[in-house]
Amino acid sequence: MNNKLLGIVLIVGGLALAIWGYNVFDSASAQFSRAFSGDTPIEAWLGMVGGVICIAVGIGKIR
């Protein structure tokens, strides 16, 4: 039961982190920065990749 609860928390947290990372990626300042320098904020990548990793670990804990 404890692993399933931890898995659910990781999935929900990972989903929130991935959504936050996408929102940072899609923000006006990030679009402006990408248009002129081609750089994407590191926070966007950390949020999206970290969220996917948390979701994957959460799914592994549920099984």
Helix/strand/coil for 46: helix
Domain ranges of the chain: 2-62
Can you state the angle between helices 2-25 and 42-62, rounded to 10 degrees?
160
> Whole-model pTM above 0.75?
yes
Q: Which of 14, 3, 5, 13 is nearest to 49 (CA)?
A: 14
Least confident interval from 14-18, 37-41, 53-57 = 37-41
The pLDDT of residue 63 is: 86
Backbone angles phi, psi at 41, to 5 degrees: -60, 140
Write out the two tokens for 48: 């999206």
Average pLDDT over residues 18-28: 93
Average pLDDT over residues 30-43: 86
Mean pLDDT of the chain: 93
What share of the chain has pLDDT > 90, as a percent? Answer: 73
Q: How far apart are CA 24 and CA 8, in angstroms?
A: 24
